[in-house]
Every structure is written in C-alpha cells, then in structure tokens.
Structure 1
C-alpha cells in the first residue's frame, strides 16, 4: 500500500519538557497527554483508546503503560494497550493506533510515552538474556553504548576520512536548534571548541558528542481523516507510513573498499532509491518510503536518532540524503542545518533532549507535526511539507515514520 490510502490524522501533539525532574514517569506522560488533547481541541472523555509506550524502568505500572496513563487521566471506559520495542516503542504505539483507526475500531486514539531515566548508563533490564546480542555486548565484552558509539565513529573515520572536528559540527548544529526549542533540556548554543574541551568518553568521542539520559514525555492524538475534518481540521498533518522492520541477516556484501573489490566477493547492485541494500537502518527508511510513495528527494526535514554525533552522519546516508561517505559534505555545506535544504533534527535532536526511551519516537512525530503546521517558531523549516523520522533500538527494533501535509 502507498500514496495516502492508509493516512491518519495527527489532531494533537503535546510534550513535557525534557530534563531531570525527579518525578515518576506517569507525571510526564499525563502532562504531555493533556497538552495533546488541548492541542486537538478534544475532551479526555472523547478518547476511545489509549496506547502506552512501556518503560522498563517504571516497575509494573511502566509495563502496562496504557492502563497506567488511562488511570492517571481518569477512568472513562477507554480501551487500552501497551507496547514495548526499546527505542521504537513510541512508533510501534503509533502503528497500533493507526491499525485500530483504519480497521474502524477507534475514532480517537491517544498515544503516550514517558520515562524517568537513571543518571549515566542504561543498565540492561529484564534479568539474564544470553540470547540477546546487546545483553552479551554489555555483559561479556563490557561494551557499553558509548564504547559502541566510539567504535562506530572510528569506523567512519577509517572508511570516509571524517574527523573529530567533523563530529563536533553535528553537536554545534543541533545545539543551535535546541536553543530555540522550549521542550529541550539543553538550550545553550555550543561551539566546536566547547566540544573539543569536553572530556573524552570513548575515543574519539567526547562528552558533548554523546547524548544524555533524561526524563520526559510526549503524546499524540490520532484520528481518521473524516473525524479530523468533522472537527475543523481541513488540512491536518497526516501519518502516511510507519516502518518497524527488523534486520535481515546474514549480510552478503562487505563494505570495506579493499575487500569489496576482490573478485571473490559478489557485489549486489544498489537499489534505485540509492539506499544501501545490506544494512538495518536503510531498510527501515526504505520500507517507509515505499509505503508512503515518496523518496528522499521529497523530504523537507528529518528527525533522526543522534545517540552520538557520528551516528547522525550515518543517518544522512541511511535515509538516502546522500551516497555513503558524503554525509560530512552535507554537514559542512549547511544542507542539514536550519536554513538548509533538508534540515536534520531541527528539534535539536537527542543532543539537546537526551534519551527518554518510550517518548522518543513520539517526540519525533510531535516535531514533524509542528513543523508541517508551520508552528515551530524560531526553528521553523520554511515551506515544510514532508518529513521522516528514524531511530534504532535494542534487539532489532527500529522505526521510521513519514508525515505529510
């Protein structure tokens, strides 16, 4: 399916500011939910389904987030559901909401995600998981996420000649955008010198190259297009695609240039979209583009998962903004900055927010919604009409959402 036959409307978007507030996740989610309802012009009693994105750090209430938020807002008979998909939890909640709306099982769905994150590393949750490669990475190799980010940055340096100074420019760009976002945790512009002066965490990455952990919440009110029009939204922002595809293994094409040229290696042709064929992240974006009936050339903006500065550069290639190895060129030319032709992370990204895992994919769609409405204030992308989100999480979870207006 493609091209709009499965569109739903984003009638309302709301957030709780990111930070370290010291409260339980429920508070952040209910604040975001009430803001989204107010934005939609609807009363809580008009919601017939609540879908919560779970937090593994919130005990049993976090594992049944849909019911937890419904209770906090006031029992009124709404159906509830809860989903968990690591960093893609919010997008899977959006996908579940869309399914119910298009199946005629709901008119108004409230999607909510919130977290109260610990300081420092995210400790693996859920006990012993010897069949989970991410758990094994933590436990057997001692490779925390920053260590992984550092190795990934080194790989880009070896393959494409990027430098720590290039990575620092990503932080500078995102901090400038975040300074304009009232929901961001960090709202102070930084310079490349500030990044270089911050402590080394996982060489070559420094403290300001890596996102923090945060408290925060985000919510959306989703409806069918007919319902939206009946309630005065003649041209609502529409969710046109939600991709939650999993990886495909084994990889059959090696990407190191000196190996890939060996006659013993069969190199598959690139797709017409220009996206690489053998990687998880490009497949997430490709499925979204195919469902939406668009391509990278149609984008006005993108919100991507910048766990580290080097990872943002990888996303430029993975969502098809440029061929492999040319991401830093876009960055240096200002293409992905506010005022450029395809701003990436005009919200400020995780560099400005930090991680509040169940809320992140929802927050990305909130930003697309405000941008496509022309309501993003000083960070507004001129003439925004089409946007994509992208993220990647543990255990093969990832997502991409396409929104249009």
Structure 2
C-alpha cells in the first residue's frame, strides 16, 4: 500500500441528525468542536478550513469554509468551500488533502452541515432551464421516481424482489439502532416496510431516505504532524476518488431521467468507475475491504453499490443481503452506521459522516455496532451533475 498520498485522521465529530430547526452553522460548530477535542489540537493551530457548501442556507452556505472559520473565531487560517451536491464533503476533504500533501499546511479542518426543508428535496423556485435538477423536476422525475426506475431495473434484470429491498432497510435499522448520532433509532421488520405507504412503485416510504439536519467534521494532518504530536499509528485517508462520468450527458443528466437501458447502464458504469480509482490509488482490492459506507438513497440503490464496489459480481447483491454477508458479523458489513436509512440526507455532511464512521470503526470505537478487526474501509457517494466520490480509510 502506497504511503506517499496518505494523510492522518486525528479527530472526528458529528452533530446528531434530526429535524432541529436551527441554523446550519450551529450544527457545524458543534461537530468541529467535537472533532478538535477528539484530535486533541487547538483551533488556533488549524491552518486550513475546508467547508462543504449548502445551497439551501443562503450566502453563509455558499461560503461555508469562511462561515465556519468566522464562527469558530478568526485566527488567520486559509479557507475553501467545495460544492459537489451529495459528494460535497468528499470534495472538501480532497481539497484539504491536497493542501497538506503539497506542504502548504500541516493541520486542516473539514466540515459540512445542513438544514433541510420538510419533505423530499426539491430545487429552489424560479425557471432555470440550464439546471438539470430543475429540468428533471419539471419533467416529473423527483428523487423517488428515479430511485424506483433503478429498483425496477434490478427486478427485471436480476429477479430482485421487494422483499430483498426490505431486508436492506431491516439490516440498516438494526445497525443504526446502536448509533447515538442517528435520527431513526428503531428496529423495523419486513412487515413494517411492506405496510408503509407506496411512494414510487415498487418503493415504499421506508425504502427511501428522509431529509435531515446534521453535521460532520474531520481534523486531518500530515503524517509528520501526527507523529510530532504523539499520534503514532493514526487511521489514514489512503485514497479519494472524485471522478466524473465518461458518457455524454448534454443539457440533462440522462441517467437521472431516462428509462432506456443504454442510459441506465451508462449510469451504472459511472458508479462502478467511482471506486476503481480509489482502489488503484490506495493499492488495495475489493477483497481487502473490511466494511463499507454507501449512499443508500433507497434500499435498492444500496444493492447496486455492492456490485459497483465489486463486493460481488453483477446481479448477486441480493444474495449478499439474504445471507447476511453485509450485516455486522458478516463477510463485509455495509452501512454499520445505519446509513441514510437511519440518518437521512444532510447533503454537505453525509460524505464526511461516512468517513467519520469508518474512522470510529477502524479505531474500535463504534460501541454497539463494532465490526470485528476492520483494516480497510471504503465509502461511495454520488452527487448531481456528475459528482462521484469514494474515500478509502486504512489502518
């Protein structure tokens, strides 16, 4: 495994997910303070603040890096703000890593926080025909609609069933029940899923993640800085992939709205490409993965990620969840945090929250949901407008 591109994770912190009705900055500051305390480093020593943007929270959300630097107390740090929709947190982490590896700073703070409206996500008011988010909603393709298209694809190609999808929800609820930062801490049954309201056939309400308020923060440093402060064997960020698709997308992101098989397969190929770069950069293979945190916008999409991460061949994801392979105690636990099923979407924070969970797991600090002796963890995330991300964490 290459060590030339590794940085150390000194601290992680989260603000619990929920619907708190407060300013996003409050959540982010709490997460930053927790991460700094976990790292054992003072705020004044941070040389770079990398914020993940939130478009819903006005100008402070657009300049999140500076917003949090100000809220924590101006002390001269350089700032950055990254926007990549649901992959914003990974982009912000990548910016911090680049700053550290270039030798321009030793210690960085990465943070994402959000306050979301009630209901499913939707674009801001106004006509924006050059905005693919606005276009797909104008055509009636809400998030649950295209989640359902992917679910139907699995059913048609691989014979997956609604019962298989429900097993994913039951698994994640069992994991998240033990996570103090999760919004939904209740163990559900397959019958609970089947009895929830039908939203977009074949997906029911409990197959689809909610929207939430929440925050996550990570303190990272050079390996030399970690050693200097006495952190001899820290968990490490060993790879970050932020690839974009290789197929032509045009004005509208066709995989988000198309029903033709070519476009859907192209989207699947894009998701498969996201972790490949990370595996190559970290010098690990899918067989080395101890656990994964994936972007489970819906139960069916989690199954797609098993295959995209090459945890199994195409078409065999449902078999993994049926056998319990992706449960804690199984071959490769997926979403031991509980995933978005238990957290909901706090868009700029969720890719960072995935990394926080992997760090806690690799440290052996995930009380109640601890995976046995993990060594390599991977995240997977996909944001609107061609933003893919995958982070590999090792010890």
Give the equivalent residue in structure 2 for 1:81: 80
Counterpart position of 1:14:
13
Deviation at 1:151, TM superposition (A): 1.4
Secondary structure at 1:227 match in 2: helix
Shift of 1:130: 2.4
* 5+ long unaligned stretches in structure 2: 250-259
Task: Assess if the C-alpha contact under 8 Å between 1:277 and 1:283 holds in 2.
Answer: no
Cα distance in 2 for residues equivalent to 1:349 and 1:102: 30
Instruction: Find the counterpart in structure 2 of residue 145 from structure 1.
Output: 143
Instruction: Give unpaired runs (5+ residues) of structure 1.
Output: 252-258, 266-275
Q: Distance in 2 between matches of 1:129 and 1:235?
A: 49
Output one character per residue of 1:246-275: Cα deviation in whole Å (capped at 9) or x when no partner. 001159xxxxxxx99xxxx9xxxxxxxxxx
Q: Which aligned runs of 4 or more in structure 1 are off by greater than 2 angstroms?
A: 125-135
- 1:326-362 Cα deviation digits (max 9, x unpaired): 0000100111001101000000000000000000000
Provide TM-score, normalisation by structure 2: 0.94
Q: Measure, in 2, the Cα distance between the counterparts of 1:85 and 1:279.
A: 19
Q: 1:277 to 1:167 in 2, by over 3 A?
A: closer
Tell me if 1:197 matches 2:187.
Answer: no
Structure-2 change in CA distance of 1:199 and 1:172 (3 Å)? same
**Residues 6-405 of structure 1 aligned to structure 2 (within 5 Å):** 6-125=5-124, 127-139=126-138, 141-250=139-248, 279-405=269-395
Equivalent residues of 1:132, 1:395 under 8 A apart:
no
Question: Which position in structure 1 is the counterpart of 2:257?
Answer: none
The secondary structure found in structure 2 opposite 1:23 is coil
C-alpha displacement at 1:135, in angstroms? 2.8
How far apart in 1 are the matches of 2:348 and 2:300?
23
**Per-residue deviation, 1:129:** 3.5
Q: Secondary structure at the match of 1:281?
A: helix
Q: What do residues 303-346 of structure 1 show as CA deviations (whole Å, max 9, x unaligned)?
A: 00000000000000000001110000010011100110100000
Distance in 1 (alpha carbons) for counterparts of 2:384 and 2:134? 9
**Displacement, 1:128?**
3.7
Aligned partners of 1:318 and 1:104: how far apart in 2? 34
Instruction: Tell me, yes or no, if the aligned pair for 2:35 and 2:217 is still in contact at 8 Å.
Output: yes
Classify 1:277/1:150 alpha carbon distance in 2 versus 1 (closer, same or farther; 3 Å).
Answer: closer
Q: CA deviation at 1:230?
A: 1.3
Q: Residues of 2 paired with 1:396 and 1:127: CA distance?
A: 23
- RMSD of the TM alignment (CA)? 1.8
Q: Report the alpha carbon displacement of residue 278 of structure 1 after superposing the two structures with TM.
A: 6.8
